[in-house]
Amino acid sequence: MNDLHLWILPIIPFAGFLVNGLLGRRAPKPVVTAVALIGSLLPALWVSNLVVRFGSLTLPHVETYGTWIVSGAFHANFSFQLDQLTLVMLCVVTGVGFLIHVYSVGYMADEEGYWRFFAYMNLFLFFMLTLVLAENFLLMFVGWEGVGLASYLLIGFYYNRDSAANAGKKAFIVNRIGDFGFLIAMFLLIAHFGTLNFGSIFDTVATHPEWQGAGFLTAIALFLVLGATGKSAQIPLYVWLPDAMEGPTPVSALIHAATMVTAGVYMIARAHVLFDFSPVALMTVAIIGTATAFFAATIGMMQTDIKRVLAYSTVSQLGYMFLGCGVAAYSAGVFHLVTHAFFKALLFLAAGSVIHALSGQQDMRVMGGLRKKIPVTFWTMTAAVFAISGFPPLAGFVSKDEILYQAFIAPNGGKILWAIGLLTAGLTSFYMFRLWYMTFFGESRKAAEEDHGAAVHARSDTKLVLEADPHGGQGHAHGVHESPKVMLIPLIILAILSVIGGWMGWPEALGGGNWFAHFLAPVAALPQAPTGDRQVEILLAILSTLVALTGWFVAHYMYYMKPGTADRLAKQMRGLYALIANKYWIDELYGAVIVAPVLFLARWILGVLIDRAVIDGGGIVAGATAQGFGALVARIQSGNIRSYAGWLALFAALLLAGAYFGWIAHFVPR
């Protein structure tokens, strides 16, 4: 049954990682490029082969390559599985992954550590493919941890910059909290099912309708949600993602927008049987998702760093996916995952192109008027902005609307979730057009002045490594310039996908077939999905389009017609502005409530009290005891032969007496 050779998919990027990681330092650049591109292209081709053969398969297709762990009745295999959900994820990971690899060839061309970057990227692909292909929770966890590792390495790519190193550590540690949840969930699964295989667990659950709402299933699902909030940057663990923007922009696009952060959504969709049985966990997912979507969108409105706007936008969109999963519309959540992968990857890559054009400038306040100077970037970015804002018929409209509609028809307070989701859609539209106007319209603000000499200065705080490269200035010193073709082609492809990508899930109410939902139905649909009114769906679609238009109009007014409006508003509502501009002081709150006590515990309780006083003190006391006792006993060695003889005689006599009276008989082994 191993005729699909799924193992090829992760092995190829891993080979690419090994080659580039071990030999890349000395290899010439074209070789590194070729290895990295082959390492990402071949899996993509293999996936397209799978797509072609998909129709003739019996699903789910499971391939087992060997036994990993056997412990009593518990088995864990190296086994991969292919079903509709996996195939969707494979297409996204390898497709977008390959495009971003191509883009990176141009973007990273002048960077120190080119080989290191591509080695890590291939390593990421390896782990991500393991994650989505895994047939049991344990192997999935390997991929889960592995992508965390790759993410850490790539966030800290500019390791000589303190902020990047710290951001990497923050991402890793925050994710560790989520992983704790995942681990506990796995322990509970082993305790209750004795296995971690997807198939056997889900089948067992499905055949026990009486478990509906059972406490242990709810506990497992809630711990899985904790894991998902870590990886997918949801409240309360979202804080690492904005900081992760310290990594190179293609990394932000691939790992922190399109693929890795969606692992949580994938995991929930994969384990949806467990969630179907625990309404509490589902509700938690929906509430977390909605709250995160709204919360992150408000922060995104105030950010000035182009990548940070996109980061908060990613958090917000992931919230939508959680909302979709939380109202048991898993295919809607996964559909948004797919379209989001297209347009958010595009947004990041286009932002990278802007940053590249401005020689490393990321502050939107000094951008502007770039529309004519970098037209391809502008047009592709425009497609992405319209897509994410939810204008029909672009991808974001279709998937976001599907989620909002499913929320609307969901029982138990779905209308409230829908209302907040709709408001968030307006905010999304607003902050995306704010970004659009600030970057591409108006006068060329400071960017114009920095065309020449000052550009070097602007670069120094963002692309430090590039700065150190003597060739880095070549081609950059001529001011604003369009990116090379190798960067533009992926942009164009992603722009096309952002426009048409949604059509595969075009809702039936609007005359489509919603092919995507039908495709995923065998793995993600509920037996009794709630159905709604066609008119309602059309009405909701019109409403959300109007909301998106409103967001656009407000942004148009504030940043195009009357550019000073934003500052005036900020002055009028100083308290609110300060609250949001400082990201609700969440980082500070976590710092005070969690980090400071942990540091206190580590430094004073564990460091001083336990380590210095107890452990070190114990050593000192033990040493001193031995020394003191030794000093005492050393007096016996007087050098006087007759005193030795006396001791000898004394103890011989004692021994004799002991033997005679039977005192020592108990201590002598018989």
Partner 1 sequence: MVPIAWYLVLSAILFSIGVAAFLIKRNIISVFMSIELMLNAVNLTFVAFAHMWHQVSGQIFVFFVMVVAAAEAAVGLAIIIAIFRARNTLNVDQVDLMKL
Q: Is 632 in the site for partner 1 (CB under 8 A)?
A: no
Which residue stretch of 16-24, 366-374, 539-547, 631-639 sits at the interface with partner 1 (rule: CB under 8 A)? 631-639
Query: Least distance from C-beta 654 to partner 1, angstroms?
Result: 14
Q: Is 660 in the site for partner 1 (CB under 8 A)?
A: no
Return the number of the residue (572 or 637) whose C-beta is nearest partner 1: 637
Task: State CA 381 to chain mean position distance.
Answer: 23
Task: State CA 150 to chain mean position distance.
Answer: 10
Task: Mark 584-623 with x for binding to partner 1 (rule: CB under 8 A) and - for no binding.
Answer: ----------------------------------------
Distance CA 211, CA 109 (A): 56
Distance CA 142, CA 128 (A): 10
**Number of other CB atoms surrounding residue 578 within 10 Å:** 12
Q: Is 637 in the site for partner 1 (CB under 8 A)?
A: yes
Q: What is the DSSP string of 108-119?
A: TTT-TTHHHHHH
Return the number of the residue (1 or 631) whose C-beta is nearest partner 1: 631
Query: Least distance from C-beta 620 to partner 1, angstroms?
Result: 23
Do residues 328 and 291 lie in contact, with contact meaning Cβ atoms separated by under 8 Å? no
Identified binder of partner 1 from the candidate list 468, 576, 596, 645, rule CB under 8 A? 645
Return the number of the residue (594 or 626) whose C-beta is nearest partner 1: 626
Query: What are the φ/ψ torsions at residue 536 (nearest 5 degrees)?
Result: -60, -45
* Contact set for partner 1, span 54-73 (CB under 8 A): none
Which residue stretch of 196-204, 330-338, 556-564, 632-640 sits at the interface with partner 1 (rule: CB under 8 A)? 632-640
Q: Is 572 in the site for partner 1 (CB under 8 A)?
A: no
Which residue stretch of 63-71, 532-540, 602-610, 641-649 sits at the interface with partner 1 (rule: CB under 8 A)? 641-649
Distance CA 155, CA 158 (A): 8
Return the number of the residue (73 or 633) whose C-beta is nearest partner 1: 633
Distance CA 115, CA 344 (A): 26
Comparing C-alpha atoms, which of 133, 435, 95 is closest to residue 258? Answer: 95
Amino acid at 56: S
CB within 8 Å of 466: residues ≥ 6 apart:
110, 111, 112, 360, 459, 472
Identified binder of partner 1 from the candidate list 416, 569, 578, 649, rule CB under 8 A? 649
Identified binder of partner 1 from the candidate list 26, 571, 574, 642, rule CB under 8 A? 642
CB within 8 Å of 391: residues ≥ 6 apart:
397, 545, 548, 549
Q: Are strands 61-71 and 74-82 parallel, antiparallel or unpaired?
A: antiparallel
Size, binding site for partner 1 by CB under 8 A: 11
Query: Least distance from C-beta 667 to partner 1, angstroms?
Result: 25
Residue with tokens 């609110």: 576
Do residues 440 and 371 lie in contact, with contact meaning Cβ atoms separated by under 8 Å? yes
Q: Where are the beta strands (DSSP E) in 472-584?
A: none
Torsion of CA 357, 363, 364, 367, to 10 degrees: -40
Query: Least distance from C-beta 660 to partner 1, angstroms?
Result: 13
Number of H helices, E strands in the chain: 30, 2
- Residues recorded for the chain: 670
Query: Least distance from C-beta 639 to partner 1, angstroms?
Result: 3
Which residue stretch of 24-32, 207-215, 313-321, 634-642 sits at the interface with partner 1 (rule: CB under 8 A)? 634-642
* Contact set for partner 1, span 124-163 (CB under 8 A): none
Which residue stretch of 52-60, 243-251, 262-270, 638-646 sits at the interface with partner 1 (rule: CB under 8 A)? 638-646
Return the number of the residue (635 or 666) whose C-beta is nearest partner 1: 635
Which residue stretch of 99-107, 217-225, 301-309, 630-638 sits at the interface with partner 1 (rule: CB under 8 A)? 630-638
Which residue stretch of 110-118, 348-356, 481-489, 635-643 sits at the interface with partner 1 (rule: CB under 8 A)? 635-643
Identified binder of partner 1 from the candidate list 411, 629, 646, 651, rule CB under 8 A? 646
Comparing C-alpha atoms, which of 171, 48, 37 is closest to residue 102? Answer: 37
Identified binder of partner 1 from the candidate list 470, 575, 639, 669, rule CB under 8 A? 639
Return the number of the residue (531 or 637) whose C-beta is nearest partner 1: 637
Which residue stretch of 296-304, 314-322, 436-444, 643-651 sits at the interface with partner 1 (rule: CB under 8 A)? 643-651
CB within 8 Å of 104: residues ≥ 6 apart:
117, 118, 121, 248, 250
Do residues 155 and 167 lie in contact, with contact meaning Cβ atoms separated by under 8 Å? yes
Do residues 83 and 90 lie in contact, with contact meaning Cβ atoms separated by under 8 Å? no
Structure tokens at 638: 């007087």
Identified binder of partner 1 from the candidate list 634, 662, 667, 670, rule CB under 8 A? 634
Q: Is 638 in the site for partner 1 (CB under 8 A)?
A: yes
Distance CA 472, CA 461 (A): 15
Which residue stretch of 231-239, 432-440, 457-465, 645-653 sits at the interface with partner 1 (rule: CB under 8 A)? 645-653
What does the binding site for partner 1 look like in residue numbers (CB under 8 A)?
Answer: 634-635, 637-642, 645-646, 649
